[in-house]
Amino acid sequence: MPGVYLSYPFCAQKCTYCNFASGVFPREREQRYREALEREIRVHRWEWRPETVYLGGGTPSNLEPEPLRPLLEAIPGRPWQEATMEAAPGSITAEKARAWADLGIDRVSLGVQSFVEAEIRRTGRKHTAETVVREMQILGQQGIVNCNLDLIAGLPGQSAATWRESLDWVERLAPAHVSVYMLEVDEDSRLGSEILRGGRRYGAGEIPSDDQIADFYEEAVERLAGMGIGRYEISNFARAGFDSRHNLKYWKLQPYAGFGADAHSFDGRVRRRNPESLEDYLKAAAPVEEPADPGERFYVGLRLMEGIRPTAQDGALFDGPIRRFVDAGLLETDASALRLTGRGVLLSNEVFQEFLTV
Ligand code: SF4
């Protein structure tokens, strides 16, 4: 059963590392966006009942309950199997949490990134570790116990000691789910472009080395496993039964419908991408469509630790790269599946690249 994604690209500030099409916009545009978003959902012809809902962004948790309600009420299928709200720490109040529970939200993903104040401040965020503790309590009081905490390995000034401090906080808070992302360096974020041009703003001169970042990641894999939070996807870890049902649809190439600026949809055959910029979305520019790529099963599906089951057609198309990566110890195969090895996870971009270019 498919999922629904709602994009809400408005934030209180633009974080230095963020390469999403999100930002700070005038209030008037936010209001027009909400109207356009609701319209897009309402005119959609539902050929199936949504099973999962995901509000991402941006910072949808900044939405007050009143404007949030019509957006969620326009989506059929309630009660959904899982409905996630992405939240920036510092934006959760008891009133919002109560409204979320009432509207069917049962999972909250907190973009914590770090529990170390000096690291958080440099990214432009304002929360503290105590903010996260307090807001998880507020959510728990409303019965929302399925919480994800996001961490970024590779922030400016991060060291083995500060990374450990963040992992210690995770252990104390004992969430159901944790995502660990490695810092992405590209032109789409202020920090990324500063690093690429060799500058020092935003702490660009104090980024941990690639080896250090790989060590942080490995340490997280080990520490989280010790807490009973196992890795099920390259960046995602969960207690038994708490894998993100919505995100699993992306990795398993199941259908989903995306609404809002830069939202993607997939019906099993064709991918559709809404206009990336807010302006183009508000002008109702047409979405871009393209057929699914035969290599997707590999570079998307192999992100899952359970791996994929190659078909005869996959075998014919990708026999060369599969053999090469198995011989190099980056992929392993048995009677049931083809999956990344521990080393393959660390070099997964190289592996995926091969299936992209075949
Ligand atoms: S990281 Fe999150 S809160 Fe920060 S600018 Fe990006 S979407 Fe907004």
Q: What is the pLDDT of residues 108-129, one digit of tens each?
A: 999 999 999 999 999 999 999 9
Which numbered atom of ligand 1 lies nearest the CA of 86? 2
Return the percentage of the chain with pLDDT > 70, whole number. 99
Evaluate whether 331 touches 351 at the Cβ level (below 8 Å). yes
Q: Give the pLDDT of residue 293.
A: 86
Beta-carbon contacts of 130 under 8 Å, excluding residues fewer than 6 positions away, are none
What are residue 173's phi and psi, to 5 degrees?
-80, -20
The DSSP secondary-structure symbol of 92 reads -
pLDDT tops 90 at residue 358: no
Q: Give the pLDDT of residue 313.
A: 83
Tens digits of per-residue pLDDT, 198-230?
999 999 999 999 999 999 999 999 999 999 999
Q: Give the pLDDT of residue 312.
A: 84
Q: Can you tell me which residue has the tokens 């944790």?
A: 178
Instruction: Name the residue at shortest CA distance from atom 5 of ligand 1.
Output: 14
From 7, 14, 122, give the residue whose CB has the most ligand 1 atoms within 8 Å, as the site to mutate: 14
Residues flanking ligand 1, CB < 6 Å: 11, 14-15, 18, 20, 22, 57-59, 88, 111
In this prediction, residue 357 has a pLDDT band, given cuts at 50, 70 and 90, of low
Q: In whole angstroms, what is the distance from residue 47 CA to residue 246 CA?
A: 18
Tens digits of per-residue pLDDT, 151-175?
999 999 999 999 999 999 999 999 9
Rounded to the nearest angstrom, the distance between the alpha carbon of 301 and the centre of ligand 1 is 26
Count of alpha carbons within 13 Å of 272, Cβ hemisphere only?
Answer: 17
Rounded to the nearest angstrom, the distance between the alpha carbon of 335 and the centre of ligand 1 is 42
CB atoms under 10 Å from CB of 324, counted, come to 13
pLDDT tops 80 at residue 10: yes
Evaluate whether 242 touches 177 at the Cβ level (below 8 Å). yes
Q: CA angle, corner 93, sides to 90 and 95, nearest 5?
A: 160
Q: What is the pTM of this model?
A: 0.96
Q: Give the pLDDT of residue 311.
A: 86
Rounded to the nearest angstrom, the distance between the alpha carbon of 171 and the centre of ligand 1 is 24
Rounded to the nearest angstrom, the distance between the alpha carbon of 37 and the centre of ligand 1 is 20
Tens digits of per-residue pLDDT, 26-42?
999 999 999 999 999 99
Structure-token pair, residue 182: 């490695």
Rounded to the nearest angstrom, the distance between the alpha carbon of 90 and the centre of ligand 1 is 13
Which numbered atom of ligand 1 lies nearest the CA of 18? 6
Mean pLDDT of the chain: 95
Q: Give the pLDDT of residue 345.
A: 96
Rounded to the nearest angstrom, the distance between the alpha carbon of 355 and the centre of ligand 1 is 30
Tens digits of per-residue pLDDT, 51-103?
999 999 999 999 999 999 999 999 999 999 999 999 999 999 999 999 999 99
Q: Give the pLDDT of residue 73.
A: 97
In this prediction, residue 248 has a pLDDT band, given cuts at 50, 70 and 90, of very high
E-assigned strands of the chain? 3-8, 52-57, 82-87, 107-113, 146-153, 177-182, 230-233, 236-238, 256-259, 264-266, 270-273, 288-291, 331-333, 338-340
What are residue 107's phi and psi, to 5 degrees?
-145, 135
pLDDT tops 60 at residue 136: yes
